[in-house]
Amino acid sequence: MSVNVEAYHRIKEELAAGHVQLVAVSKTKPEADIRELYELGQRDFGENYVQELVEKEPVLPKDIRWHCIGHLQSNKVKYIAPFVHLVHGVDSWKLLKEIGRQGDKCNRVIDCLLQVHIAREETKFGMSEEELGEVMEKLPSLGNVRVRGMMGMASFTVDESRVKEEFSFLKKLYDRFAEHPSVNPDWNILSMGMSADYQLAIFEGSTMVRVGSLLFGARE
Q: Is 213 in the site for ligand PLP (CB under 6 A)?
A: yes
The footprint of ligand PLP on this chain (CB under 6 A) covers a number of residues equal to 13
Give dist(CA 106, CA 94) in Å, integer. 19
Of 14-53, which residues contact ligand PLP (CB under 6 A)? Answer: 25, 27, 48
Torsion region of 124: left, alpha or beta (phi above 0 gives left; psi -120 to 50 gives alpha): beta
- Provide the minimum distance between the beta carbon of 6 and ligand PLP in the complex, in angstroms, as a whole number: 16
Task: Name every residue whose Cβ is closer than 8 Å to that of residue 209 and which is 6 or more positions away in sequence.
Answer: 15, 20, 21, 22, 23, 191, 192, 193, 194, 198, 201, 202
The site string for ligand PLP over 129-158 (x = CB under 6 A, - otherwise) reads ------------------------x-----
- Provide the minimum distance between the beta carbon of 137 and ligand PLP in the complex, in angstroms, as a whole number: 26
Give dist(CA 219, CA 27) in Å, integer. 8
H helix count then E strand count, the chain: 9, 8
Of 182-211, which residues contact ligand PLP (CB under 6 A)? Answer: 194-196, 210-211
Q: Is 171 in the site for ligand PLP (CB under 6 A)?
A: no
Question: Of 50, 60, 56, nearest to 87 (Cα)?
Answer: 50
When the beta carbons of 103 and 212 are compared against ligand PLP, the nearer one is: 212
Task: Give the pairing type, strands 86-90 and 65-68.
Answer: parallel
- Provide the minimum distance between the beta carbon of 66 and ligand PLP in the complex, in angstroms, as a whole number: 14
Task: Give the pairing type, strands 65-68 and 44-47.
Answer: parallel
The site string for ligand PLP over 61-100 (x = CB under 6 A, - otherwise) reads --------xx------------------------------
Residues that bind ligand PLP (CB under 6 A): 25, 27, 48, 69-70, 153, 194-196, 210-213
